[in-house]
Amino acid sequence: MNNLTVLEIETINQKFKHDRDIPESIWNRYLKKYKDKYLLERDEIGIWGIRLKQKLGFIQPFSLIDKQLVAVMTFRSQQHKTFFKKKLVGNVGFLVKITQEGIDELCLMFDEKNIKQLETLLKIRKKYKISKKERERRIQRVKIARESKK
């Protein structure tokens, strides 16, 4: 599917009163506008999300009308989560709201406009571009590795 057009994004507020009325196809395409900057993946139910590093979790749309996102994070331990929350409060705690908290899980809701400020703290995976020469070199390395296994 294609990205949402600017016109579609602007008319979401005009067409729909509640998020529940927005068609599934729009929800699925909403985050694709970030495809050039961040690593996107589909989750188990088919909604596109922004992948966080170290398999900590992902970011998905929470409300398209209010332009809010939710970060669903799973930590290695409760202690790791506690350290993250201390960092959160010290740096950008005013930008996010904790919506759910489990033993080793945390859900943070924030406005879409704040995603740039939260990149480092949430460890959002960015896309990087490689040159054609580097791409060819990597393809050759994979071919050599596959041939050596035969």
- CA–CA separation, 111 vs 109, rounded Å? 7
pLDDT of residue 9: 65
Ordered strands of the 40-42 beta sheet: 40-42, 48-51, 57-63, 68-74, 105-111, 96-101
Residues 6+ apart with CB under 8 A from 27: 47, 61, 64
Number of C-beta neighbours around residue 51 at 10 A = 17
pLDDT of residue 143: 92
Structure tokens at 45: 């139910």
pTM of the predicted structure, to 2 decimals: 0.73
Complete DSSP assignment for 39-61: -EEE-TTS-EEEEBGGG-EEEEE
Q: What does the pLDDT profile of the chain (150 residues) look like in tens digits?
A: 466 666 666 677 677 777 788 887 777 778 888 888 888 888 777 778 888 886 678 898 888 888 889 988 888 888 888 888 888 887 776 788 888 888 888 898 999 888 888 888 888 888 878 889 998 999 999 999 999 877
- Rg over CA atoms, the chain: 19
SS3 128: coil
